[in-house]
Amino acid sequence: MTEAYDAVDVIVTKRDGGALSDAQIDWVVDAYTRGAVADYQMASLAMAIVQRGMTMRETARWTRAMINTGERLDFSGLSRPTADKHSTGGVGDKITLPLAPLVASCGLAIPQLSGRGLGHTGGTLDKLESIPGWQADRTTAQMISQLEDVGAVICAAGSGLAPADKKLYALRDVTGTVESIPLIASSIMSKKIAEGTGVLVLDVKVGSGAFMKDLAGARDLARTMVALGSDAGVVTSALLTDMSTPLGRAVGNALEVAESVEVLAGGGPADVVELTLALAREMLDRAGLTGKDPAAALQDGTAMDAWRAMISAQGGDPGAPLPKARHSQDVTAPSDGVVSRMDALGVGVAAWRLGAGRARKEDEVQKGAGIYLHKQLGETVKAGEPIMTLYSDDEPRFARAHAALGEACGGAGAIAIDAEAPGRAIILDRVSSA
């Protein structure tokens, strides 16, 4: 087969600061997916994009080209409008678990295609797999049936959605080319647009435990993704939310499921409830469904009913005991005062080292491993009182977790006790095309 372009010419165009044409982008994404462009050539192009950037036109075309390498799901036959939420990832970010059944109980259909954790950020599928019997894999027919019957499905994305992204993401991960807003935005949005939902609400995390460390960068990413979604005909908006400190009190798979069930039962940590309701209201508003208050659905049991139905539909037992780690160890306060720092990255790395996360995609996670925060930012503590409890099946992991907590914040430590604590806002900003 004679190729329409030469990979070196495309690389040089971007290396020298030029804009790639629509035809060049269509060709290079397709050619890379089918193997006509080698990994080392795409790695070189990705590095040129990191260094030189992309215009909005280029980014939109790159996203469309990745979508066109695979299939698109179609939920237009459902009796309810569809909506989805995507988070850029954080520590203790279990929001998908209570959010999906909550908005389903208010009349939306939620086709939530989720992933597994890597590094210090947890994965929704890993969390749900701590429920005995629960299965992540669903066929398209099973998804449609469950969405019609239950209103929500959380499952693994099939290999047919934007296969170019799967291949390119793995390459970027090992070539130092992850940190590019055009490449990040197109990676996320190619899968979400191909998913076929009518409404998409993005939760863009900001802070030490997030990919985007500062508000300006997070806002740029949010604006890019909202523009890509809107350009593709998806009603898209974004909330920028704090991830400088962990979300909720539980960090780890089974621990986060238990906390999510607390929220669905009408309780749970205030920050988790606040963000869950904010995202639920955004999804319902963007879909034009404003008749039911999601806060009422948490209190009257309808959200919990939807949770049980969703878990049962995927083979899980919502009433079964969750796995527990074999060993635990407390971290106590060195003095009286107020928790003035609870660094999300330090806590996330510690939970990862305890076995709650994985270093490589093929690693197994410990379902009961993680951290429970007895004290959150701004809460008072007495000397010797537990601030957190560490959980792991392997006792030697505790030393490495303690080291992660001590190494955080440039060696100042993940935890600080002072006379007072800074205030915390969960919702930092909102970005919308309209």
* Active-site annotation holds for 187: yes
Q: Which residue among 293, 320, 347 closes a domain?
A: 320
- In this structure, are residues 103 and 199 in contact, taking their beta carbons and an 8 Å threshold? no
Question: 342 and 291, same structural domain?
Answer: no
* Active-site annotation holds for 120: no
Q: Running DSSP on this structure, what letter comes out for residue 115?
A: -
d(CA 210, CA 294): 27
* Residue 334 belongs to a domain: yes
pLDDT computed for residue 434 by the predictor? 65
* Residue 283 belongs to a domain: yes
Question: 315 and 336, same structural domain?
Answer: no
* Active-site annotation holds for 165: yes
* Residue 353 belongs to a domain: yes
Structural domains counted in the chain: 3
d(CA 332, CA 157): 41
* Residue 78 belongs to a domain: no
* Active-site annotation holds for 86: yes
Beta-bridged to residue 418, according to DSSP, are: 338
Smallest Cα–Cα separation from 210: which of 128, 97, 92?
92
* Catalytic annotation, pick one of 26, 93, 126, 165: 165
Q: Could you list the pLDDT tens digit for every one of the 434 residues in the chain? A: 678 889 999 999 999 999 999 999 999 999 999 999 999 999 999 999 999 999 999 999 999 999 999 999 999 999 999 999 999 999 999 999 999 999 999 999 999 998 877 667 778 999 999 999 999 999 999 999 999 999 999 999 877 889 999 899 889 888 989 889 999 999 999 999 999 999 999 999 999 999 899 999 999 999 999 999 999 999 999 999 999 999 999 999 999 999 999 999 999 999 999 999 999 999 999 999 988 899 999 999 999 999 999 999 999 999 999 999 999 999 999 999 999 999 999 999 999 999 998 777 677 889 999 999 999 999 999 999 999 999 999 999 999 999 999 999 999 999 999 999 899 999 999 999 86
* Residue 58 belongs to a domain: no
- In this structure, are residues 19 and 26 in contact, taking their beta carbons and an 8 Å threshold? no
Beta-bridged to residue 342, according to DSSP, are: 415
Domain of 47, CATH number, reads: 1.20.970.10
The structure tokens 């009961």 sit at 368
* Residue 428 belongs to a domain: no
pLDDT computed for residue 118 by the predictor? 66
**Backbone angles phi and psi of 415, in degrees to 5:** -120, 140
Cβ neighbours, 10 Å, residue 305: 16
d(CA 30, CA 37): 9
* Catalytic annotation, pick one of 191, 192, 286, 341: 191
Q: Running DSSP on this structure, what letter comes out for residue 49?
A: H
pLDDT computed for residue 159 by the predictor? 77
Question: 345 and 316, same structural domain?
Answer: no
* Catalytic annotation, pick one of 14, 85, 86, 166: 86
Question: 132 and 225, same structural domain?
Answer: yes
Question: 381 and 268, same structural domain?
Answer: no
Q: Which residue among 320, 348, 369 closes a domain?
A: 320
pLDDT computed for residue 204 by the predictor? 97
Q: Rounded to 5 degrees, what angle do the CA atoms 74, 76, 77 make?
A: 105
Show the domain range for 402: 327-418
Output the CA–CA distances (angstroms, integers) from residue 63 to 224, 231, 284, 407, in the order listed. Answer: 11, 11, 26, 38
Q: Which residue among 305, 320, 335 closes a domain?
A: 320
Domain of 145, CATH number, reads: 3.40.1030.10
- In this structure, are residues 159 and 165 in contact, taking their beta carbons and an 8 Å threshold? no
Question: 410 and 299, same structural domain?
Answer: no
Question: 336 and 311, same structural domain?
Answer: no
Structure tokens at 324: 């527990």
Q: Running DSSP on this structure, what letter comes out for residue 333?
A: -
- In this structure, are residues 227 and 433 in contact, taking their beta carbons and an 8 Å threshold? yes
* Catalytic annotation, pick one of 14, 64, 120, 172: 172
Smallest Cα–Cα separation from 227: which of 87, 64, 89?
64
* Catalytic annotation, pick one of 114, 130, 187, 208: 187
Smallest Cα–Cα separation from 95: which of 127, 120, 119?
127
d(CA 344, CA 211): 12
Residues 6+ apart with CB under 8 A from 54: 19, 20, 62, 182
